[in-house]
Amino acid sequence: MQTAAPSPKPRLRVLLCAPRGFCAGVVRAIDAVEQALALYGPPVYVRHEIVHNKYVVEGLKRKGAVFVEELDEVPEGPAPVIFSAHGVPKSVPEAAASRNMFAIDATCPLVTKVHREAQVHHRKGREILLIGHARHPEVIGTMGQLPDDAVTLIETAEDARTIVPRDPDNLAYVTQTTLSLDDTAEMVNILRARFPNMAAPHKEDICYATTNRQDAVKKVAPQVDAMVVVGAPNSSNSLRLREAAERAGCALSVLVQRATDIDWERFGTITSLGVTAGASAPEVLVEELLDAFAERFELDVRSVTAAEEDVFFPLPRALRPDAAE
């Protein structure tokens, strides 16, 4: 008896967002851990996840990195202690110095820029409004640069409408680097209308990588039936990508950490798919996702580019080849 030929797989047009995945700050932070391991051997301690991605963190653990939430989990000794890309409150390096720790700061330079802006505004006597998400490590780090009453957090448009500053004519604002462009613009517009003398950043605080990845999603989302964002559920920039796709008109927009997280029943009838990855998600996970879709669909893959990126940040000084000179 002749067996029936397998039915052909349905065709699926895949639009790959570009840029996607690792940004320069994430590359620098991961390289910092790997370089510290190469120079000093394990263990290398890292305060908080170096970047918000389980795959990356688990890979570094296998190489000898030890992740802790607080410095009191680090034993006495010469092992390096690295601060994550998100930045830390001033109290953390001060505590490390008091214990004579070999501390290496892998804070993204664009986050450090926000810290410095806030410090300058504070020195000028301005009350600072920080647009961001409570409990996010970057926000905790930025607020922790200054005394407790120096910074007021603005999380929503309603916060922007109702904030009552001490002196409406002596304000400045800064933002988290990984926010929704649209949400932030709405809050800034409300604040500017209420406080026209409010000082603004010299250059936008939302980083180039966040901006470019959201712009790419906005180009692709209206053209596809579904969008998959590869990223972690605690990654702010990844969450914002999923939201951006939804707002841009994509009927199905999901965030997954790995291909194994996909609920295939939701993707059974699609004919087009957008794919992107948060700034802390490695490209290998995008490839894994595409392989999973290729098992079920005949893929026609092309790239949609919103911007070209060539940003590079050097390693922290203690890890550079000339550090001992």
Give the C-alpha separation, 86 to 88, whole Å. 7
CATH number at residue 232: 3.40.1010.20
Let me know if residue 324 belongs to a domain: no
**Tens-place pLDDT, residues 166-176:** 999 999 999 99
Our count of domains for the chain comes to 3
324 pLDDT tier (thresholds 50, 70, 90): very low
Provide mean pLDDT across the span 299-308.
97
38 pLDDT tier (thresholds 50, 70, 90): very high
**Tens-place pLDDT, residues 178-194:** 999 999 999 999 999 99
The 10 Å Cβ neighbour count of residue 257 is 17
Residue 68 shares a structural domain with residue 127: no
Residue 121 shares a structural domain with residue 56: no
Quick one: pLDDT at residue 203?
A: 85
Q: Which of 167, 194, 221 is the last residue of a domain?
A: 194
Let me know if residue 312 belongs to a domain: no
**Which has the closest alpha carbon to 267: 211, 318, 225, 300?**
225
Candidates 117, 127, 138, 243; catalytic one? 138
Mean pLDDT for the chain overall: 95
Q: Which of 137, 160, 194 is the last residue of a domain?
A: 194
**Tens-place pLDDT, residues 254-283:** 999 999 999 999 998 999 999 999 999 999
**Which has the closest alpha carbon to 239: 213, 219, 262?**
213
Let me know if residue 44 belongs to a domain: yes
Give the C-alpha separation, 35 to 262, whole Å. 34
Query: Domain residues for 116?
Result: 110-194
Residue 236 shares a structural domain with residue 300: yes
Is there a contact between 104 and 76 (Cβ–Cβ < 8 Å)? no
Quick one: pLDDT at residue 268?
A: 86
Residue 92 shares a structural domain with residue 148: no
Output DSSP code: residue 179.
-
Judge whether residue 285 has pLDDT over 80: yes
Taking the CA of residue 202 as centre, how many other CA atoms within 13 Å lie in the half-sphere pointing to its CB? 8
Provide mean pLDDT across the span 132-150.
95
Let me know if residue 318 belongs to a domain: no
Catalytic annotation on 155?
no
Judge whether residue 322 has pLDDT over 50: yes
Judge whether residue 205 has pLDDT over 60: yes
Quick one: pLDDT at residue 7?
A: 60
Query: Percent of the chain scored above 70 by pLDDT?
Result: 97
Residue 220 shares a structural domain with residue 266: yes
Judge whether residue 134 has pLDDT over 60: yes
**Tens-place pLDDT, residues 226-250:** 999 999 999 999 999 999 999 999 9
The length of the chain is 325
Q: Report helix, strand and coil shares of the chain as percent, to nearest 5.
A: 40, 20, 40
Judge whether residue 115 has pLDDT over 90: yes
Residue 225 shares a structural domain with residue 283: yes
- The pTM (predicted TM-score) of the whole model is 0.92
Query: What is the residue-wise DSSP string for 46-90?
Result: EES-SSS-HHHHHHHHHHTEEEESSGGGSPSSS-EEEE-TT---T
Judge whether residue 323 has pLDDT over 70: no
Burial 266-291 (b: 16+ CB within 10 A, else e): ebeebebbbbbbbbbbbeebbeebbe
Looking up tokens 């550079």, which residue turns up?
Answer: 320
CATH number at residue 96: 3.40.50.11270
**Tens-place pLDDT, residues 5-15:** 566 899 999 99
Judge whether residue 325 has pLDDT over 60: no
Quick one: pLDDT at residue 8?
A: 84
Residue 83 shares a structural domain with residue 172: no
Query: What is the residue-wise DSSP string for 236-269?
Result: HHHHHHHHHHHHTT-SEEEEESSGGG--GGGGTT
Give the C-alpha separation, 292 to 233, whole Å. 20
Give the C-alpha separation, 228 to 260, whole Å. 13
Residues 6+ apart with CB under 8 A from 123: none
Q: Which of 55, 85, 108 is the last residue of a domain?
A: 108
Is there a contact between 142 and 130 (Cβ–Cβ < 8 Å)? yes
